[in-house]
Amino acid sequence: MDDVGKSTQAEEKTMDKRNEELPGNLLVTPTTSHQEACRFVMMDHTAQLCLRIVLWLEGLASESLDLAKKVRGSHVGSYFPSSGVWHHTQRYLKKMSGDPAIVQHMDFDASTREVAQPILDDKKQDELLLEDIWTLLRAGRLEEACELCRSAGQPWRAASLCPFGGFDHFPSVEAMHKNGKMRTLQAFELESGIGHQWRLWRWASYCASEKIAEQDGGRYEMAVYASQSSNLRRLLPICTDWESACWAMAKSWLDVQVDSILAQFQQARLEGKQFGEDINGSSMQGLSSTASSENWPCHVLDQQPRDLPALLQKLHSSEVVHEAVSRACEEQHRQIEMNLMLGDMAHLLELLWAWISPSEDDQNILRPHGDPEMLRFGAHVVLVLRNLLDDDVKDAFKEKLTTVGDLILHMYAMYLFSKQHEELVGVYASQLARHLCVDLFIEMMELRLNSSMHVKYKLFLLGMEYLPFSSEDDSKACFEDILERVLLRSREMKPSKPVGKLSDVAEEHRLQSLQKAMVIQWLCFTPPSTIRDVEVISAKLLMRALMHSNTLFREFALISMWRVPKMPIGAHMLLSFLAEPLKQPNFDEDDASEDLHEFEDWREYYACDATYRNWLKFELENAAIAPAELSSEEKDRAAATALETLDSSLSLLLREGNPWLYVAHDRTYDPTEDMHIELHATAMLCLPSGECMLPDATSCTTLTSALYSSVSEDDVLKRQLRVNVAVSSSDNYCIEVALHCLAVNGDGLGLHEANDGGLLATVIAAGFKGELNRFQPGVTMEISRLDAWYSSEDGSFRSPANYIVKGLCRRCCLPELILRCMQVSVSLAETRDLKDHHNELIELVASSEYGILHLFSQHQLQEFLLFEREFSLYRMEVEEESVVDN
């Protein structure tokens, strides 16, 4: 066991402890052969391994016998009394005795002495009896085998199986307890020498097996005595299955090792030397030095394996063992057993991975493949090895256990996940290397994103209970890292599916906001109360949810500028997820004041947006009905919703002391620093009809030029503005826009009092509003992802520049909100409802106090004036009608 065994030095340290395990109350002085055999097996690693193999295989055979008895009701050894006596032969001899092929006497040596056989029926009965004796010996049931011989009328055979007064000569501590103090054996060996009786009995068994074979006697009888003398040549032909052949070789080799050590002991006693200091290690050295032909036949010694690998090699050889045995060596479970016997865990792991790993044609190696039972076994082997092995195992095996073990655990975890056993995955996932554990959880969470809340909560509990929340060990994953990666991946661009219409592509990109929003639910679950620091973790989850939600709110706002009744479902899903967690009493608003204030701003904005879309829905429904058929209730409903829209929007626009998305106090850098700011956007070009415009190199170059022209040439030069537009590598329907410029005081450095996002927001806003010079008129940029950063001169990112994105949202959202209010005012004026809100809107745009006028583009100002003109015309009509009526 090169890779998983103890070192030689460690083995030597445990020798004394193993000696102490011998039952001291049963030790006799002078010692006996059985006592020394047990001591040797406990001290010698190879002999102990042989003993364990023998006990294991005998245990399996014994369990099989018990099962057969339970199922069939009958069992091996259930014979009528005296069934082993040759009754037919006895009757034959009484009548006649002239056939030389039939034995003339009834003693048990008659067949060998007279070279004759009993009557065929008696011979068959004998063979059945010996088959059962063999089966019992194979199962380690020596006492039952002897009792069977006695009950069958063959007590002499029982004596040949269990000599020396019937004690158990198997070299185990259990046998010592069973035998007690062996004074009889001690007396024998004081007279004849230690191990002498043992060798005589084994010689007699060997001669019996050879004689039976020469006379073509019973095959089971031959095997019984061959097993007691390590005569593999006569024993293996009867072993037609792998377990029997392996048991025969292991037991035979163990007995020969005991022979060798007893011979050494006797030699040392005769020479007056102290024995026991030089027997550590391989006992096969003794075979070559002391087990000469005087002690044991050389050809019997030659049959024995030199070591355990040689034993297993013999099992593969069809020249040595039965063909069925060599074929069985190719079976998976036999290969597992042989590797476990060798202790070659590195090769076992390689075998397991080879059996369960996907083929080379399969691109995804982390999907479950192969036999589920083999997957489970492999995963459990890895867990056991990792928990049992000491730190002093060889580095090569430790690396194998880490790399191959992780692959097996990962695959089994994915198998459990595919069978909806999410609650079982944590045991295996927690043992994986950091990157594999993170990847596994991300894949599971993404695949279950659209599942029920119950299923998702099971995954959440999995991470909370089996992983630390924050990083404690760089080699192990933490749940915080997993959640962060899930949030980042949720914002990555998903490739568009092939569709028939370009308008469907645009709609698909808008629907991706729903998938982005659903990720927030992972942060809104309540951690189990059993984990440590549950309140701190709950607060961290909620603060992270607020931060990410605000990022998504900004992106969702920029793609919901279309004046259509359809609601921005992603934004409203975020609001619904966070509604309950924000009510928790342990949430400290001071710790998340900035994020919470922005969240409240967005909640108010999307409330205004929802009210407007409800009004628009009613307007479109009413427009589809002939005016004469329109009921007063439908008119009143539209009017009430219009007034509600104006009230809520003006409440947001006219806030005092706390403007919407006020960001003047974003991260402040020293004006003397050489700092740059960058903005990166992934967007889709959309035509006024709503269809997607497929970008190419020409359109990207044209767009780059148009973005440059959105600001003055002086700004481009002074701020070192750089614009890069390219077709997205992940989705050919999208473009990647990168803007970079030098930070200056008031835009990147110091306070951001303008509150409009600065130069970069000015450039990109022209694209979002569809008002780029030198580009196709009306084409807008539908945002998919938007990030802004502070960066150093070398291009490395330092921190998020949220003021740019927030200012961009003010540039785009506030003018659109005011224009929507103007649209509603005009609609009310058409129904002769002239409220004073209209004047408030004009004052809001014109007043320098609110700083809104510069947020409008030229096209938006023109639209504003057109709405004002329409409102004025309706008002003039109302005034004229009033004059006429008077």
Rounded-to-integer distance, Cα 754 and Cα 80, Å:
109
Question: How many degrees, rounded to 5, is the angle at CA 518 between CA 514 and CA 524?
Answer: 150
The letter for the amino acid at 738 is A
Per-residue three-class SS string for 617-640: HHHHHHHCCCHHHCCHHHHHHHHH
pLDDT tens-digit profile of 737-793? 999 999 998 898 888 878 889 999 999 998 888 888 888 888 989 888 999 999 988
**Confidence at residue 594, expressed as pLDDT on a 0 to 100 scale:** 85
**Total residue count of the chain as it appears in this document:** 886
Token reading at 216 = 């073509």
Give me the mean pLDDT over the 198-205 stretch: 88
- Give residue 16's pLDDT: 37
Dist. CA 779–CA 692, nearest whole Å? 10
Instruction: With residue 815 as reference, give the H or E element that holds it.
Output: helix 802-830
d(CA 616, CA 820): 10
pLDDT level of residue 118 (50, 70, 90 thresholds): confident
Identity (one letter) of the amino acid at 643?
A: L
Nearest to 225 by CA among 215, 234, 237: 234
Domains of the chain as residue ranges with CATH: 35-332 (no CATH), 676-813 (3.30.70)
**Residue 266: per-residue pLDDT:** 73
Q: Is the pLDDT of residue 37 over 50?
A: yes
State the Cα–Cα distance between residues 800 and 196, nearest whole angstrom. Answer: 89
Strand order in the sheet with 780-791: 722-727, 734-742, 676-686, 780-791, 797-800
Tell which residue, 84, 100, 82, 104, has the closest CA to residue 92.
104
Distance from the Cα of residue 212 to its chain's centroid:
59
Q: Give the position of tokens 């070789």.
A: 249
**Residue whose structure tokens are 């802004």:** 788
Q: Is-contact 537 590, C-beta < 8 A?
A: no
Distance CA 111, CA 100 (A): 11
Is the confidence at residue 806, as pLDDT, over 70? yes
For the chain, the distance separating the N- and C-terminal CA atoms, rounded to the nearest angstrom, is 113
Residue 669 has pLDDT above 80, yes or no: no
pLDDT in tens, 314-367: 998 878 899 999 999 999 999 999 999 988 888 999 999 988 887 655 555 445
Amino acid sitting at position 515: Q
Closest CA to 820 of 863, 849, 783, 791: 863
- Rounded Cα distance between 705 and 425, Å, is 53
* CB proximity list for 784: less than 8 A, separation 6 or greater: 493, 509, 512, 555, 559, 682, 683, 684, 734
CA angle 784, 449, 603 (to 5 degrees): 55
Give the separation between CA 241 and CA 315, rounded to whole angstroms: 10
671 close to 751: Cβ distance less than 8 angstroms: no
- In this predicted structure, the answer to whether residue 425 has a pLDDT above a threshold of 90 is yes
* Residue type present at position 72: R
What is the C-alpha to C-alpha distance for residues 66 and 71, in angstroms, rounded to an integer?
A: 9
809 contacts 765 by C-beta, under 8 angstroms: no
Closest CA to 142 of 125, 124, 163: 163
User: Cβ contacts of residue 826 below 8 Å, gap of 6+?
Assistant: 867, 870, 871, 874
The span from the CA of 616 to the CA of 560, in Å, is 14
Summarised one tens digit per residue, pLDDT across range 265-315 is 777 666 655 444 444 444 444 444 444 434 567 778 888 888 889 898 999
Q: How far apart are CA 824 and CA 627, in angstroms?
A: 19
Amino acid at 671: P
Tell me: pLDDT of 595 over 50.
Answer: yes
Spell 62-86 as b/e; 16+ CB within 10 A means b.
Answer: beebeeeeeeeeebbbebeeebbbb
Give the pTM.
0.77
780-791 and 797-800: which strand pairing? antiparallel
Under DSSP, the state recorded for 358 is: P
Phi and psi angles of residue 784, each rounded to the nearest 5 degrees, phi first: -115, -35
